[in-house]
Amino acid sequence: MTTFRYDDLSKRQRQFVDALAAQTQNPNVDRQYLLDVIDATDIYTVPPAWIVQDSRRRTDTRGVYHVPEIREAIHTISIAAPEPVAAPAAAPATVAAVPAMDLAGSAVMGMTGGDRAHLIPNRESTYVPWGHFASIEKILKAKMFYPTFVTGLSGNGKTTMIEQVCAKLKRPCYRVNITKQTDEDDLLGGFRLINGNTVWCDGPVVKAMEDPAGGVLLLDEIDLGSTNIMCLQSVLEGKGVYLKKVGRWVTPAAGFTVLATANTKGKGSDDGRFIGTNVMNEAFLDRFPVTLEQEYAGRSTEKKILKKAMEAVNLHDDDFSTHLVKWAEIIRKSFAEGAVDEIISTRRLVDICKAYAIFDDKMTAINMAIARFDDDTKEGFLNLYTKVDGDDNIVAEAAATTNWSEIDPDARIDLNVSYEQKDVAKSLGCRWDDDKRTWYTSAGEIASRSELLQFNPVAPTADVVCPF
């Protein structure tokens, strides 16, 4: 077994490993991450040969390399001590000066950064960029103040997407999970009793505004908040904020911006699926100039996500990932048609992969993932998975028995086109949806050209979409 040691590297190699370790603790890094680090440093101009051309460092995933020295480098990197917080000019007489240790900074780290040594999220080598990743990246690269509202159903990767953009661009991310109890004191700051002294501590919003690296304030699940978050009105206008308790005006640094995630569009949840979400103040929502709607990933993208999730737990089962994606896709279409009341998210599919790695049984993993649903829903979902796993031709059979001439000829029909069939699909007049990464046609085309049935189209009806 090959052993790679940090101490065996040259000075230049150690510098590069240090740069890699500054953003991730994962010893497996992809080529894109190497290029990102190269862009941010002047150590190399191309991915170093001692990594990409060493066959011993190649993993089972194409373009991903094993650099275990990263874990050793983490313990050797010194982290600069944060600047001490200045004592407020107009604080009460009982307020003590802040000690040299940045207690306020530590509090913010505990709220937003967990056990990380810095506020730049760790780069996940298993992450698959998709959805609005490119749009968020453009917004942050512009370094303009441009508040963005990202909405979508639960478990489709909204928060992770924003964190991974910040990781790629090396931008500090101040993530604040909003609840009904979140108030001005939590967001902007307040007085805390520390070591017997009353000390003013800046909140995560102020910390993000003043971060010289261009802080990104991530307000997660913002639609759970009450009217208490209206204290952010001036912040969302990019004008700064006045801390009335200490008589201090905070001006945002260059690059500061705000991103918010929510399961609704701020109008509450009529069906009760997202209990606790509120109808948000229209003046507050109007301060977000753009809203990005995030759907679940398309079939090919979701398969990539599951494949990487499996590889992370040493699983390799392409058939299982294919069946899971088909299963979830049918359920989501059924949900959209109103045939079922529950949905299978991408996050739940990843959880199934992890459970499969632990218990080594597919049905046990699926049962554990859907146990929270009612008995009828569980039975229906299990029966559907059995059909999908037991018969890969379930969709083809449904397509072959559908009377396509009875369907609206203009209705869009998505197709199951493999990579090998793409040229055939194109020659038959099928069109490519770049957002959903899917080939599609119309019901009228299928009715007139039976050869399109080879792509296993699914009719947009509840009977076909939800065969249980």
pLDDT band at 400 (very low <50, low <70, confident <90, very high): low
Same domain, 423 and 341: no
More confident residue, 225 or 92: 225
For the chain, the domain total comes to 4
Q: What is the rounded distance in angstroms from the CA atom of residue 426 to the CA atom of residue 87?
A: 68
Q: Assess whether pLDDT exceeds 70 at residue 91.
A: no
What residue numbers bound the domain in which 51 lies? 6-74
pTM: 0.63
pLDDT in tens, 133-153: 999 999 999 999 999 999 988
Same domain, 282 and 143: yes
Q: What is the pLDDT of residue 103?
A: 45
Q: Assess whether pLDDT exceeds 90 at residue 26.
A: no
Q: What is the rounded distance in angstroms from the CA atom of residue 177 to the CA atom of residue 141?
A: 24
Same domain, 370 and 266: no
Q: Assess whether pLDDT exceeds 70 at residue 270.
A: no
Same domain, 157 and 197: yes
Same domain, 388 and 400: no
Per-residue b/e over 281-312, b at no fewer than 16 CB within 10 Å? eeebbebbeeebebebbbbebbbbbbbbbbbb
pLDDT in tens, 205-230: 999 999 999 999 999 999 988 999 99
pLDDT band at 398 (very low <50, low <70, confident <90, very high): low
pLDDT in tens, 362-395: 999 999 999 999 999 999 999 889 888 865 555 5
CA-to-CA dists, residue 394 to 57, 259, 274, 401, angstroms: 41, 42, 33, 11
Residue 118 is which amino acid?
Answer: H
Same domain, 129 and 231: yes
Residues 339-344: contacts with CB within 8 Å, 24+ apart?
339/462, 339/465, 339/466, 340/377, 340/380, 340/466, 341/377, 342/373, 342/377, 342/381, 343/153, 344/370, 344/381
- Which residues have a Cβ under 8 Å from the Cβ of 80 and sit 6 or more positions away? none
Instruction: Characterize the bridge pairing of strands 290-293 and 148-151.
Output: parallel
Q: What is the rounded distance in angstroms from the CA atom of residue 109 to the CA atom of residue 87?
A: 20
* Three-class secondary structure of residue 198 per DSSP: strand
More confident residue, 124 or 84: 124
Q: What is the pLDDT of residue 24?
A: 77
Same domain, 116 and 64: no
